[in-house]
Structure 1
Amino acid sequence: MTDTSTNSSAFDAEKEAGFGDYFALLKPRVMSLVVFTALVGLIVAPVSVHPMVALAAILFIALGGGASGALNMWWDADIDRLMNRTRKRPIPAGKVAEGEAFAIGIALSFMAVVMLFLAANAVAAGLLAFTIFFYVVIYTMWLKRATPQNIVIGGAAGAFPPMIGWAVATGSVSVEAVLMFALTFAWTPPHFWALALFVKNDYAKAHVPMLTVTHGRAATRRHILGYTLALAVVALALGLTSIGGPVYMTVAVVLNAMFIKGAFAISRRDDAACEADQHLVERRFFKLSLAYLFGHFGALLVEATLAPYGLGGW
């Protein structure tokens, strides 16, 4: 391809891109999880925050999450073009040029960190900067294509938002913040491995060393069960802290019982059964995993809402 054709393609992409394409570049689904868990971390903290400060902080945390998404799409454009579930993203679809995505990601990263520092404090801004670095450099550029443990270690990037929210309010990190981090961290592997079970061919085609590709589906099913059991311990431990309470523990017990039941069901299946029902059990488990995390953080939010009336907490 000549320089002329390259420039023309970039121009065409820029010309065709609309607001929706740029918004998709920021991975809005992931951003919604970032915003929600960060907001919960901020609200359940023992220090009150002025509503305008809280609103600004959540906005800048969201921008940081969106910046990470844009930089992830910039770096992964080559493999996104190969996978069915990602080929319609703005860059592989030819809507946004790679260089443009990179520029947006860098600009939003800088803006988010600086503005969070000005709106809140250095601890929160530092955690946000590290989160962006970890997701883009450690996970996207290195781990994702280097090891089947990519999603295990890389999951830390998605686990920082509640800790950042807590730091916005308190200017520090505590055991409650660490356990909120640990909840999301331990949830990430079974969540993504469930997805990997029914999109294995996509990862294989793109040469991404997901556990299903390197060790097979049987090993992945065993790993899902092991991490699900460990996740239940973390979830219940969080309920015993100052931000837990009867509402949270009830939700945690029910959701973890359902999650463990689903993980056991997956562990007993084989490839023939999965192919026969088109991975129905795995798809249900993946959907449950989405409700699982929102349910736990939603229960923490309820505890914090009831606390002023003497109804929440222990």
Structure 2
Amino acid sequence: MAKSLGESSPLLLPSPGSALQLLRDLWVLAKARVVSLLVFTAAVGELLAPGGIQHWPAAIAGLVGIALAGGAGGVLNQIVEPELDQHMRRTHRRPLAEGRIGRHGAILYALLLLAVAVTVLWIWTNPLTLALTLLGTVGYGVVYTLYLKPSTPWNIVWGGLAGALPPLIGWTAVTGSMAALPLLLVALIFVWTPAHFWPLAIYCRRDYAKACIPMLPVTHGVDRTRREVLLYAVATWIVSLVPAFLNHDWIYGGIAWIAGAWFVGMALRLRKLPEGTEMDLYARKMFAFSITYLFLLFTALLLGKVVMAYGLL
């Protein structure tokens, strides 16, 4: 039987004879799949910034720092929530939840990731980038996890700000300053986050209820949550169009219009479906599509810049 979470060894404990299992557990513990999206949006911020390619050492350092700090935030989140993870279908196999890695070992892992991130950002970027990265890490790993998530159904709205910072961090890594475009991208991810996460919360609402976590579907019901998803989907669509007017980028604008209309259409369908298995499965489908939607928007921003830079149209 695995040791209890409170009595874990201070060392990382892989399954007997399984270094590969340890690597998998470290990957999951750092929430690498989530972090990969943060790194992607940060990379787009760097490539959109003036002179981003010329400042490639700072750009690479910025991405490494964001990845490591984001991983540290993911570890901190799981250090606080192993008991909650045990109640959730999608998280009950996580390393801390099953006791494959001890809490003390996870703390050491988070500190190592954060220390390397701070060192890289301090040496190769600038103080503004370091400050924003630490703000995002503390915002997610501490403020959201410890205070917002267990206390308010609007946790993802305010906690989502931490995950919205990477495009700005990428921009500042290569320029050392802020500008309107990266701030708009922060706003875009900020309003996208509730429309992205609440469909998953609808799908997992029974698990959240068992764990006594006040997610919106638990505290305000499915109908209210679906209405909020629709409102935030419309807000995301509107905000996503602003960069097209700011940059006179109609390639991006056209893609953002079509993709946003599809996203809002999904929210409308989710709103109309009767509660039941079909609605739950559709909510999960919308959650998955929302990730593709954000990826598409940021890819379109790069496409638009390339087209305009080389006069392809």
Asked if Structure 1 and Structure 2 have the same fold, meaning a TM-score greater than 0.5 normalized by the shorter chain, the answer is yes
Amino acid at match of 2:140: Y
Aligned pair 1:221/2:226, yes or no? yes
- CA offsets per residue over residues 4-60 of structure 1, 9 Å max, x none? 987975379614251111111110111110110000000001133433332222111
Counterpart of 1:14 in structure 2 is 13
1:225 and 1:29 map into 2 onto residues whose CA distance is 26
2:260 and 2:160 map into 1 onto residues whose CA distance is 19
Count of paired positions: 305
1:137-216 equivalences under 5 Å are: 137-216=142-221
Counterpart of 2:310 in structure 1 is 309
- CA offsets per residue over residues 246-276 of structure 1, 9 Å max, x none? 22111101111101111111112231xx33x
1:229 and 1:12 map into 2 onto residues whose CA distance is 48
Q: CA RMSD in A?
A: 2.0
1:39 and 1:87 map into 2 onto residues whose CA distance is 32
Q: Which runs of 5+ in 2 are unaligned?
A: 16-20
Aligned pair 1:109/2:110, yes or no? no
Amino acid at match of 1:228: A
Say whether the 8 Å CA contact 1:43–1:304 is kept in structure 2.
no
Say whether the 8 Å CA contact 1:127–1:160 is kept in structure 2.
yes
Say whether the 8 Å CA contact 2:199–2:283 is kept in structure 1.
yes
2:6 and 2:157 map into 1 onto residues whose CA distance is 39
Say whether the 8 Å CA contact 2:86–2:92 is kept in structure 1.
yes
Aligned pair 1:266/2:270, yes or no? yes
Deviation at 1:191, TM superposition (A): 0.8
1:7 and 1:28 map into 2 onto residues whose CA distance is 25
Deviation at 1:137, TM superposition (A): 1.7
1:45 and 1:76 map into 2 onto residues whose CA distance is 37
Identity %: 39
Q: Which runs of 5+ in 1 are unaligned?
A: none
Amino acid at match of 2:67: A
Deviation at 1:305, TM superposition (A): 2.8
Secondary structure of the residue aligned to 2:98 is: coil
Amino acid at match of 2:48: V
Deviation at 1:214, TM superposition (A): 0.3
Deviation at 1:203, TM superposition (A): 0.8
CA shift in 2, pair 1:164/1:93, >3 Å: same
2:143 and 2:198 map into 1 onto residues whose CA distance is 19
Amino acid at match of 2:298: F
Counterpart of 2:132 in structure 1 is 127
Counterpart of 1:252 in structure 2 is 256
Secondary structure of the residue aligned to 1:86 is: coil
Deviation at 1:198, TM superposition (A): 1.1
Counterpart of 2:72 in structure 1 is 67
1:169 and 1:178 map into 2 onto residues whose CA distance is 15
Deviation at 1:197, TM superposition (A): 1.1
1:227-238 equivalences under 5 Å are: 227-238=232-243
Amino acid at match of 2:284: R
TM-score of the two chains, using structure 1 as the length reference: 0.92
Deviation at 1:205, TM superposition (A): 1.2
2:156 and 2:269 map into 1 onto residues whose CA distance is 22
Aligned pair 1:40/2:40, yes or no? no
Secondary structure of the residue aligned to 1:300 is: helix
Say whether the 8 Å CA contact 1:114–1:125 is kept in structure 2.
no
Say whether the 8 Å CA contact 2:11–2:104 is kept in structure 1.
no
CA shift in 2, pair 1:88/1:7, >3 Å: closer
CA shift in 2, pair 1:253/1:160, >3 Å: same
1:56 and 1:95 map into 2 onto residues whose CA distance is 32
Secondary structure of the residue aligned to 1:34 is: helix
